[in-house]
Amino acid sequence: MDALTYVRKAPAPEEAPPLLSSGALAWARTNLFSSIGSTSVTLGCVALVAYLLPQLAAWATTRAIWSASDGAACRQHQDGACWAFVVAKWDYLRFGSYPGAERWRVDVTEAIGAALIVWLLWINAPRRAWGAFLFFVAYPILALILLRGSSWFGLTSVDTQLWGGIFVSLLTAVVGIVFSLPLGVLLALGRRSSLPAVRLASVVFIEFVRGVPFITILFMANNLLPLFVPETWTPDRLLRPLAGIIIFSAAYMAEEVRGGLQSLGRGQYEAAMALGLKYAPMTGLIVLPQALTLVLPGIVNNFIGLFMDTTLISIVGATDFLEAMNNAIKDPVWAGPTIMVTGYAFAGIFYFIFCFGMARYSAHIEKVRAKGRM
């Protein structure tokens, strides 16, 4: 027994500190080279980027044609993008066939709209209720007068058949949100109403619209709407897809708002009733302000979907941005093998910047909320 006992007489030697526990190398070791599999994946990804990125960058920048008066230079340099085409078509892509002398009206409308949207999306902005009133009530009227023209204000009338480009894409999306949000709120309240007839009507509308593709709604708005109104009321060619997008987007908005209404604590309703509020003031003063703030990220995400869906309105003859790009690509002056890829690449970048920006915004709101700062 004694021979087996072991008593340490001197302290064990100090171990060397771990070579890598912090810093860039340690990070790379745990996140990039933790195992053989991980290392090969990393090397594969690096190889892919090293192979593709320089080619893509050169295609888009150094080998690209930046300015030219027609397609001749682009036809000669087929290994680069033809941004000159986009530059030359920029006005058409923005305004469609809107008359040149009147385009300032579009600019003004877009600028006011942008300012109002910033006001609404900036959470801590002062007097957002005023912003909402201006955006949802005053702005549509102003925009209609500015864009369509009115003899009272000395603005010449511009036929909607001439409208086109980015302007129509933005217009469609904004009209969609301005009209579908209030409608969606009504539908959401209706779906949660205690009155069976109201509830049934809301449910049927929402589920019907959500059950069919957007294209069929557009076809319906384009082909059936003129049949269902008296001949003298026949809606304008651009008004029909707008009606379609309002109907479509209202159903999705309603489901979004319903989510907000459901997540509101029961105590809010009970406290409001205890204060003696009837249905309308309770909804307007207590329920909706909280529910709508709660679902703001969802509404923004919905708006992103709405903005991407505006590309479909060209099926019923409206000229949105993508359709304007398609038309521009067909111009024989610019015909060449690089034009189509350049055009679609530019359209892709445009939609991506817009949608990704909004997605970042709603993700930011959610993050701030998750931290409980609001």
Partner 1 sequence: MDSAPAKRSSWLNDQRVRELAYQILLLALIAVVVWGGIYNAVVNMRARGIPMSFGFWNDVAGFDINLHLINYSNLSTYGRAFWVGLLNTLLIGLICIPLATLLGFVIGVARLSPNWLLSRFALVYTSVMRNTPLLLLLLFWYNAVLKSLPGPRQSISLDDVVFLNNRGLYLPMPFARPSAVWFLGMAVVAIVSAVGFHVWGRWRQDRTGAQMPTALVAAALIVGLPALVIAAAGVPFGFDIARLSGFNLKGGLQIIPEMAALVFGLVTFTAAFIAEIVRAGVLAVPFGQSEAAGALGLHHGLSMRLVVIPQAMRLITPPLTSQYLNIVKNSSLAVFIGYPDLVQIFAGTVLNQTQATVQVMAITMAVYLAISLAVATALNAFNARYALKGQ
* Contacts with partner 1, residue ranges (CB under 8 A): 30-32, 34, 38, 41-42, 45-46, 194-198, 201, 207-208, 210-216, 219-220, 223-224, 226-231, 304, 308-309, 311-312, 315, 322, 326, 337, 340-341, 344, 347-348, 351-352, 355-356, 359
Is-contact 167 98, C-beta < 8 A? yes
Least distance CB 172 / partner 1 (angstroms): 13
Least distance CB 371 / partner 1 (angstroms): 18
* Residue among 131 and 176 whose Cβ is closer to partner 1: 176
Instruction: Tell me how far CA of residue 73 lies from CA of 87, 338, 362, in angstroms.
Output: 14, 11, 43
* Residue among 146 and 183 whose Cβ is closer to partner 1: 183
Q: Looking at 102-165, list the stretches that DSSP marks H as alpha helix, in order from N- to C-terminal side.
A: 103-121, 128-133, 139-148
The 8-class DSSP code of residue 137 comes to I
Least distance CB 312 / partner 1 (angstroms): 6
The 8-class DSSP code of residue 82 comes to B
What SS3 class is residue 310? Answer: helix
Least distance CB 367 / partner 1 (angstroms): 15
* Residue among 143 and 295 whose Cβ is closer to partner 1: 295
The 8-class DSSP code of residue 160 comes to G
What SS3 class is residue 238? Answer: coil
- Return the amino acid letter for 224: L
- Return the amino acid letter for 129: A
- Number of other residues whose CB lies within 10 A of the CB of residue 170: 21
The span from the CA of 118 to the CA of 121, in Å, is 5
* Residue among 159 and 255 whose Cβ is closer to partner 1: 255
Least distance CB 310 / partner 1 (angstroms): 8
207's CB contacts (< 8 A; 6+ apart) are none
The 8-class DSSP code of residue 337 comes to T
* Residue among 31 and 55 whose Cβ is closer to partner 1: 31
* Residue among 68 and 347 whose Cβ is closer to partner 1: 347
What SS3 class is residue 320? Answer: strand
Least distance CB 303 / partner 1 (angstroms): 12
Least distance CB 211 / partner 1 (angstroms): 4
Least distance CB 167 / partner 1 (angstroms): 17
Closest CA to 64 of 82, 52, 87, 89: 82
Q: What value does the CA radius of gyration of the chain take, rounded to a whole number of Å?
A: 29
Closest CA to 323 of 311, 337, 306: 311
* Residue among 127 and 330 whose Cβ is closer to partner 1: 330
* Residue among 150 and 223 whose Cβ is closer to partner 1: 223
Is-contact 334 85, C-beta < 8 A? yes
Least distance CB 216 / partner 1 (angstroms): 5
Is-contact 191 206, C-beta < 8 A? yes
* Residue among 1 and 197 whose Cβ is closer to partner 1: 197
